[in-house]
Structures are given as C-alpha cells and as structure tokens.
Amino acid sequence: MKSRKNQSSTNMKFLIALPLIIIALISLLIIVNKESQKPGSDMASHPSIENQPTIGEADAPVSIVEFGDFLCPACKSWGEYIYPELKKDYIDKGLVKLSYVNVLFHGEESILASLAAEVVYKNDPQAYWDFHKKLFSEQPVEHVGQWVTIEKILEVAEATTNIDLQQLENDLIEKSTMDEVDIDDKLVKEYKVEMTPSVIINGVMMDNPMDYGEIKKLIEQQLEDN
C-alpha cells in the first residue's frame, strides 16, 4: 500500500512537471531556430568604434560597422543603394549608428584615400561623410589606372570641406594620419575581413552585406532582443 502511494505521488509530480518541461523544450527550439535563421556569423566581439567616423545617435541600440575600401566598386554600390535605405529606416530614427573602417586591399591608392579620409575626419569631422560620399562618387566605372591622387583628393576636399588644402596636401605627403590608418588595418586583421564591403551588426558578420532584406532582418532581431 505504501509503495502504491509513493508511485502515485511520483506520477503526480511528473504530471505537474511535464508542462514545464514542454515549455522549456519549446523555448529551446525557438532559440535554436532563431539562431539558425540569423543571416550572419557571430563574432567573438563587436569592433571598437572609438575614434571611428560614426553617423547616428551615440546611444543607438544597434551598431553597424562597415569595412570598406574607396577603391572597391561593391563598396561604392553599398553606399549608393544600401546606405540611403539604412539611413531612412533606422539611422534617422535613432535606432542604428554606422561606423566606417578603412580597408587597404588595393595598395597605395587605398592607403592614400584612407589617409585623406582620416585627415578630414580629424580636422573637419562634420564634413567627413560628405567627403566620403564624394570620393566614392569619383571612382571610375571602368579601371583606368590610378585615379586616387593628391590632386583628386584636394579637388574633393575643396568641394566638401572647410579644411586648409595646403595643410591637407602636407598631411598626405607626410602621412600624418598613418597611425589612424594602422588602427583600421589592425581591426581588419582582428576580424578576419576578407572582402569589401564587410558589415558587422552588433557582433554578427553579415553573410551577404548587399542584401538589404537580410540586413533589416538582423537589425529587427537585435532591436527585439534589446
């Protein structure tokens, strides 16, 4: 008789616990499914954006870092087609901030363009994004040899900034912002960036940075989690 009571008690405890077990399993499945649908790969951390050119509210819950090269046609396309949508849908609403990190995949021209961008950011930060956009717009449709020159940079800076052009030229010749460019290069190596553009959103590297639908999907997931 005592054995039956114990068995009955055990069965009752199991029946009481069963719904909790089911709920826990369902929650686990939801989490696993959500992770499997993430349109990118988790990184060990999110890149530091300290002293990086950033547009958007400082306390925006979603941080996006674009690794780009002024010599990269795909980066130019990202700026022309993805960025305006991102700005309209999220940056202007205070939900996303975007930072830019220079990549040097095209050698000396990439270095020169990056040095110039860093000089502009250092001396006229409010004009940085106008300079950034204008320099990308000067990228030729077809490869025509070297196009990033000191003369071209001065032309772009004159049209978009208020900095002293003679000082800019001196800074480029002396490579005065090479330390800042080296910081970017270290980030490129640290995050194993192998293509441009590469886009990291709150520590997740996008599989396809040219797919705005996937970018929106990840942003929405991050906003929901925050």
Q: What is the pLDDT of residues 117-163, one digit of tens each?
A: 999 999 999 999 999 999 999 999 887 789 999 999 999 999 999 99
Q: Express each pLDDT in 64-116 by its tens digit.
A: 999 999 999 999 999 999 999 999 999 999 999 999 999 999 999 999 999 99
pLDDT the model gives residue 18: 53
pLDDT the model gives residue 148: 97
Q: Is the pLDDT of residue 205 over 70?
A: yes
Other beta carbons less than 10 A from residue 96's beta carbon: 25
Helices (H), the chain: 2-36, 73-77, 83-86, 108-123, 128-137, 150-160, 165-174, 178-190, 212-225
Q: What is the mean pLDDT of residues 8-14?
A: 55
Q: Express each pLDDT in 161-204 by its tens digit.
A: 999 999 999 999 999 999 999 999 999 999 999 999 999 999 99
pLDDT the model gives residue 33: 43
**pLDDT tier for residue 44 given thresholds of 50, 70 and 90:** very high
pLDDT the model gives residue 10: 54
Q: Express each pLDDT in 55-68 by its tens digit.
A: 999 999 999 999 99
Q: Tell me the helix, strand and coil percentages in the chain, rounded to 5.
A: 60, 10, 30
Rounded to two decimals, the pTM is 0.83
Tell me which amino acid residue 17 is.
A
202 contacts 46 by C-beta, under 8 angstroms: yes
